[in-house]
Structure 1
């Protein structure tokens, strides 16, 4: 079983990490003529010596490395064990993102709409309001007032953030609610209903603890209720809880204790579900006396009902009264009332790529299958078919990999294919940028290569072996492009050793990319 690593999201707390999330396999093949051997091979002896110095440091004794750096449209710059298989972990998300770009286009926008099912008479809607989900994964506070995305590390979805994202989790729903009010609707005699028929809801593991989450075309605040847990004033005191967004859908019973030596993880347990869909859950566990607050994410089990409650609250705040007494819902008699258009896909994928969100990752195959494949019933299977077709277009065999293990050669071939597509620049920009943003923002920020290495990280633990990956592009000052993938694995003796080593490997992999950059610009 693969586990993700907190270092990948900048979080050095103890949490289980990223499983590979059913990554679609691709083949071990090269970009041009990739006849790599099991030894290091480079025409530049200075570069080879520098990489040997990095990988031969005492902290890497017993480690195993594989990598390929290749100029786009030209030969290899450096290879080492490039045909051997390694665990890619979250680096595989470059494939999921690639499929979304190829199938939907960089400029695709997701449309969330509101319709009414009856007439409006003197400000009274004699029918229902339907919130129609369009697959937008950014409904929530991630979109800042200036239009940029909030991509904090650690992210609130991982259970170690000190605070929820700033802003209003219901901001887009409030925008829709204001439009409803502006259309003269002041009272709704029917219900507030979410139409999630874009695709049939699924369920997927996200390798955070043992969680599986619903995969739905309706997502508000990542379908998370953030419970901010603040230690009490003394040992034995209950922690203080703040629920955000605090809507009537979820009630949290506090069973968290402040202690000097925490031993119980923060865990949600379902207590009851009422006929109207409201839920009571219990949060148990320990928090450290004098420690910082921590966000414990409650993944809502029913995204549709959660959104109905949230939109109902937004409507009430816009002075629209919902009575819920009369329902005339009829899909054949809908009239449009309001609309919200998402940022382009090139922005939507950044949550998956820059901060490695697992909840976002599991949604994309469904979105590709439902929207590009027009398949509401088996969207995941259709999305996986699009992924296979993209691999074939890239010249790699979708059935070649063994389990969750990939080679540097097939990564480079795939990345080379992406570099030839019209959407390449926004695809590249969506990746973490070394020394600047995302999961490698902290790596070599003062290096000449900072801001020029665009690459997806990967961290996994399988048994007692730590796996690290980095794959993407180096952009040289003259515009040339280097395609690369590099991997490392090493046996570790403890969780503490693995956590300490992760950051060291991230820096080393950044140094290797920077060494290639320097060798081609001097």
Structure 2
């Protein structure tokens, strides 16, 4: 963790610890959520310390800033149109539900925005502060994902090839073997037998969001973090190579590994979504728990400094004490279920090289290069061709990746979409992908004066958009060749993903497709603050009409996470009322 980030984190921890209104479990979960988002909950440092973060972001997005200036100065740029005509016949059940929820004391100083339109006609049914720019949190993922889909298409598949550099004689390659990274964040991990990608639905927390602290994290069913590397290694052997005299290398030049987004580094190569999964299972009080991790590699060693205790325990801490050495410390209750936490891989390229050498060894291919050595120089791209390609891994379609990002609110996957947009535009700088997002928004009538884009995940506290912009954009893209991938990829109310528990068993369950967003911060007052609780998506109304909507609320104070869950349920209740009332 950079020194300034670490200082901010410690300050926030102290604020939470000194807050009498925040229980121990809530403090820990807020801390966990703050540092690494859980299923769309992106907790931030208190606003007083955001200036440094803002400046850090602004130095990384030159392409987006230039695009914004161009749009604002262009005579043909997007401008705000006249106020939308709103239906005068809002059903009483809907208006009453909205009024009663907003009248609750917890929302006394909150800012609401609601915009609902008919998908077929574009007629505005509800507009309450629909043009107000609000903090969106993870609903911003819609914009970056759409940009990647626009550039590549929903059926695009990542192709990760392996090339030999040299001749093969008597099954011996007298040269190097190079795997060329393609930006495939799944890389076999979530592959299901039916060709889809798997994900976890609440209450099970998806593995990419299992950060320090509490039970609930789970491996994705049938997941294998080394599936793609093992498949490639088997193909190398099938191509007649039994021994490699040269080096094994990872060509990661698709784009520069980007560290300007708050969710973590975004690299062209991914193994286990560039996480080490660590499972901690309690034993008897006073003893060390059992610890296991995956993927196993000589590049990783996990130290166990955790104690099993009777009664309540605080969150686990995961730190990197040396390159490749992960230390897990803290206490776990003896009656706790196993806790799954993760440690991000700091150097994805180096880890992938080691893991590929190990996969080759498992396949029966002898490699002269040591797995932990620094690799040699990469060849010119002209060295690659069909005649020397010995293996290739092909992913499921991009629509499946979109599904995972939207269902579980996968932050780094969303940020990757921005990097891929930059690549499509001919740039190796992920920051330039934000300019592509702005271009697509402008093409669909979204003004840069109301929507500000600073990342793909929605994690930046500088992002802003309006309920009207979200609903307008979702309606616009519904008719594109790739729009169905976003509709179908969203979590379904009461059914799956981050919305599996909301409205379950209720009349609207199964009839609302949602991308939600949450941003939570600690404050000096002793309360937590929901900086944003948001939704946007599609509604199949009870009457059969299809609607597009966005409901956003900012600045909701709450004393505990239980109260925050109640506030999130209120947002969902507004949507249920709309679904039932139309």
Within a 5 Å distance, the mapping from 1:333-482 to structure 2 comes to 333-334=383-384, 335-370=388-423, 372-376=424-428, 378=429, 380-401=430-451, 403-462=462-521, 463=523, 464-466=528-530, 467-476=532-541, 480-482=545-547
Question: Structure 1 residues 41 and 311, CA, compared in 2 at 3 Å: closer, same or farther?
Answer: farther
State TM-score, norm by structure 1: 0.86
Q: 1:64: how far off?
A: 4.2
Q: 1:490: how far off?
A: 4.7
Asked whether the 8 Å contact 1:34–1:409 carries over to 2, the reply is no
Give the strand-richer structure, 1 or 2. 1
Q: 1:214: how far off?
A: 2.2
Question: Structure 1 residues 31 and 460, CA, compared in 2 at 3 Å: closer, same or farther?
Answer: farther
User: 1 CA distance for matches of 2:368 and 2:564?
Assistant: 55
User: 1 CA distance for matches of 2:578 and 2:96?
Assistant: 12
Q: 1:88: how far off?
A: 1.0
Asked whether the 8 Å contact 1:465–1:489 carries over to 2, the reply is no
Tell me, which stretches of 5 or more residues in structure 2 are unaligned? 1-7, 13-27, 45-52, 73-77, 453-461
Question: Structure 1 residues 341 and 30, CA, compared in 2 at 3 Å: closer, same or farther?
Answer: farther
Match of 2:140 among 92, 98, 107: 92
User: 2 CA distance for matches of 1:164 and 1:204?
Assistant: 28
1:8 aligned partner: none
Q: 1:483: how far off?
A: 1.3
Q: 1:119: how far off?
A: 0.7
1:503 aligned partner: 565
User: 2 CA distance for matches of 1:440 and 1:69?
Assistant: 20
1:323 aligned partner: 368
Superposed CA offset, 1:310-349 (max 9, x none): 1112211111111228989644444100111111111112
Residue 176 (structure 2) pairs with residue 128 (structure 1): yes
SS at match of 1:362: helix
Q: 1:515: how far off?
A: 2.2
User: 2 CA distance for matches of 1:30 and 1:294?
Assistant: 49
User: 1 CA distance for matches of 2:446 and 2:518?
Assistant: 24
1:486 aligned partner: 551
Q: 1:246: how far off?
A: 1.0
1:114 aligned partner: 162
Match of 1:300 among 338, 345, 350: 345
Residue 100 (structure 2) pairs with residue 44 (structure 1): no
Asked whether the 8 Å contact 1:119–1:125 carries over to 2, the reply is yes
Residue 564 (structure 2) pairs with residue 518 (structure 1): no
Superposed CA offset, 1:324-378 (max 9, x none): 28989644444100111111111112222110111212222111111x11222x2
Superposed CA offset, 1:397-426 (max 9, x none): 224347433321222222222123222212
Asked whether the 8 Å contact 1:219–1:307 carries over to 2, the reply is yes
Question: Structure 1 residues 35 and 286, CA, compared in 2 at 3 Å: closer, same or farther?
Answer: farther
Q: 1:62: how far off?
A: 5.4
Q: 1:13: how far off?
A: 4.2
Within a 5 Å distance, the mapping from 1:230-241 to structure 2 comes to 230-235=281-286, 237-241=287-291
Tell me, which stretches of 5 or more residues in structure 1 are unaligned? 4-11, 208-212, 274-278
Query: What is the root-mean-square deviation of aligned Cα atoms in Å?
Result: 3.1
Give the helix-richer structure, 1 or 2. 2
State TM-score, norm by structure 2: 0.77
Question: Structure 1 residues 404 and 35, CA, compared in 2 at 3 Å: closer, same or farther?
Answer: farther
User: 1 CA distance for matches of 2:550 and 2:82?
Assistant: 15
